[in-house]
A and B are shown apart, each in its own frame.
Chain A
């Protein structure tokens, strides 16, 4: 039983290894390590996929009627978050032919999975009636695609701020030098657009599900509200770019603030605000 958790723990280490390889390849400019890092990341994503599918399978084996797509509690969502970060990062690497981003983005996948591993309850719990909805599955998948795009955009924005002073080393060297600030800015914008679209679809599918299960499409509960706050911040970022002279550094800062809001929506609301709400 629970082979899925085992596979997913192993996945954590593979992401960790990939992250170390990327950092090594970047600092010492070693193309071999870079190529290896990409392969290890692919392996991690495959293992991650397998772990999720296995958990799905095992949930069906447990008891009749238990089976569900493993996207319904904190542990499962973290595991899926790790997967989406891995996939989106690989896409960015393929698209922009640059491996330095891996040194910043892949550790995020590792941290996510490591945090999932610390989760006290990894057991498969069957779904209460309200959670049995295809809208919920669509909701979780789209939200996390959005969050992962924002996570990688965060990594790229951090690179931008490091890079901003240091424009001279722009020449590419086997994809092991940081892309130019201009390219980093472009990647951030692309990822934020992608993330914004998916967050939008995520909030909307969540609203449609809420209408079905809880009778209202919007009730201003803290989680909902924080997802809207995140959405406002990224909408502001998209409009910031339209103003002359506001590209670059300020966009990078806003993208970092936006990701902080993502994290708060995801974790903070559960740990801090629910505490405030169970007052007395």
Chain B
């Protein structure tokens, strides 16, 4: 970054304004600002990884106490990546990038889009790392083979006459100077894509029992219901487990999309293989047994006051139903121990599997050993995996006995994000731009041939805007090649 300091001139009001604008322009174009911004973004982003995000207000009071909780809410730390101040920082970064690019592009443009670039011959002649050799062949005989040799690795080539001979000027990779502009543009493009997505996109969930249809989803965040422009029917759902375990291997749904009474698409989806219809993505995200109650979508995000627990004895096969409050200990019949529901998690996780809302409880056997049990609302038979003496299931509300039904429902995430193509364009631009910026350079080469007695003196020198040691190797190789060519010519004549 070149910062050309101009002397302040006369104090006229319009000049003062121009000076003022210039000052701001230089500030907003400076690399110093961008380093500060990048480090600020890095430091501030930490907050959101420490403070849990998007909880209900009273949760913060519980974790941090009333004072700190207020602070969290006032500073938007509960959703900091969407907060106004985080967005303002990103906007400042964008302004910094745009102004810096505009500022520098003018001169880069002139370097790239000229028909005949200027070569400062004296600059090359004075380079410390130039190569010189004396050859026994005159300049005229060398011109054609040298030009050909240089042309093999340098696209642009021009011979300029000098006082006592000529210089072959060559260059390549002028356009690689655009690499960093692509990188910087890509940052703006990705942020734009993100903005489009958050403005015009939606995300929701719907659970469809096998054989049934749905056309309304429940939106994330607001929890509102939204009607889709088509109907999804779940024709079948299957889940396979790995041999000898309860670890799911694959689960898939056969779906039919119905539009205006017509079946327009029929396809199977599974995790990692979503279906897109009208650019709305339908993702396989969960599943469960359809046992008559409304499944996951309607599952409470807040802990219910009371829940119904089913206790299936492995020995007798009997199923007992109890209604319990949080924290209350209940005795399990057949002398199978005690159960306490410890807490409720709106989005429980078990070995990387998203279970949705679940109770976490402690099961104490009659012998007195305790263990934690995870009881997801969406998977009433999940606890069977534990292979204990008792299988515990929970049902919200007073649905009564949750005898396993034969039917499944499929849990579908439905998303629409018109920003994705924009973001992916940014991704591509970023990768290509980084590659070009890091590993390619604008290289210039001068081979000057001067008559000296019967023979000639040859000077080879080169410059590059990056990777100067790499350019050094290019110059050395070229020197060897030209010497060999000249000797070859000498042998023949």
Contacts and interface: CB of A to CB of B under 8 A. Distances in A.
Interface of A: 63-66, 125-126, 128-133, 186, 193-194, 196-197, 200-201, 204, 207-208, 211-218, 220, 222, 225-226, 228-229, 232-233, 235-236, 239-240, 242-243, 261, 269, 273, 276-280
Nearest to B59: A279
B31 interface: yes
Contact of B281 (A65, A125, A204, A215): A215
Given A197-B438, A243-B35, A277 B52 contact: yes
B133 interface: no
A222 B42 contact: no
Interface in B41-68: 41-42, 45-46, 48-50, 52-53, 63
A215 B1 contact: no
Q: Name the interface size band of chain B.
A: 35 or more
A213 B417 CA distance: 15
B223 to A, nearest CB: 17
B423 A233 contact: no
A129 B272 CA distance: 8
B434 interface: yes
Given A129-B248, A242-B31, A233 B45 contact: no
Contacts of A193: 438-439
A278 to B, nearest CB: 8
Given A200-B431, A229-B42, A280-B343, A217 B31 contact: no
Interface string B410-433: 000101010010011001001100
A216 B274 CA distance: 12
B272 A216 contact: no
Q: Which of A130, A207, A215, A243 has the most CB of B within 10 A?
A: A215
Contact of A226 (B31, B49, B203): B49
A200 B430 contact: yes
Given A64-B243, A126-B247, A243-B35, 14 more contacts: A66-B242, A128-B248, A129-B248, A129-B250, A130-B352, A193-B439, A215-B283, A217-B420, A225-B49, A229-B45, A240-B35, A273-B49, A276-B50, A280-B343
A197 B1 contact: no
Contacts of A273: 49-50
Which 5 A-B pairs give the minimum distances between C-beta atoms?
A129-B271, A232-B42, A222-B49, A236-B38, A193-B438
Contacts of A225: 45-46, 48-49, 81
Interface of A is mostly: helix
Given A64-B243, A65-B243, A235-B38, A243 B45 contact: no
B368 to A, nearest CB: 25
A279 B38 contact: no
Given A229-B42, A232-B41, A243-B32, A126 B194 contact: no
B271 to A, nearest CB: 4
Nearest to B82: A220
B434 A213 contact: no
Contacts of A129: 248-251, 270-272
Contacts of B271: 129-130, 132, 213
Nearest to B360: A280
Contact of A217 (B38, B250, B423): B423
B81 A239 contact: no
B35 A239 contact: yes
B13 interface: no
B353 A128 contact: yes
B483 interface: no
A179 to B, nearest CB: 13
Contacts of B272: 129-130, 132-133, 212-213
Contact of A269 (B49, B343, B415, B439): B49
B244 interface: yes
Contacts of A261: 42
5 contacts: A207-B427, A214-B285, A235-B38, A239-B31, A242-B1
B34 interface: yes
A131 B270 CA distance: 12
Interface string B255-272: 000000000000000111
A232 B248 contact: no
Given A216-B203, A242-B31, A211 B248 contact: no
A222 to B, nearest CB: 4
Contacts of A211: 420
Contacts of B413: 215
Interface in B350-405: 351-353
Given A215-B415, A232-B41, A277-B52, A239 B34 contact: yes
Contacts of B50: 273, 276
B39 interface: yes
B435 interface: yes
A197 B31 contact: no
A211 B248 CA distance: 21
Contacts of B420: 211, 217
A266 to B, nearest CB: 14
Given A63-B242, A129-B250, A243-B32, A236 B39 contact: yes
Contacts of B427: 204, 207-208
Contacts of A204: 427, 430-431
Interface in B177-236: 194, 203
Interface in B460-493: 469
A215 B203 contact: yes
Given A225-B45, A232-B39, A242-B1, A200 B434 contact: yes
B285 A215 contact: yes
Contacts of B46: 225, 229
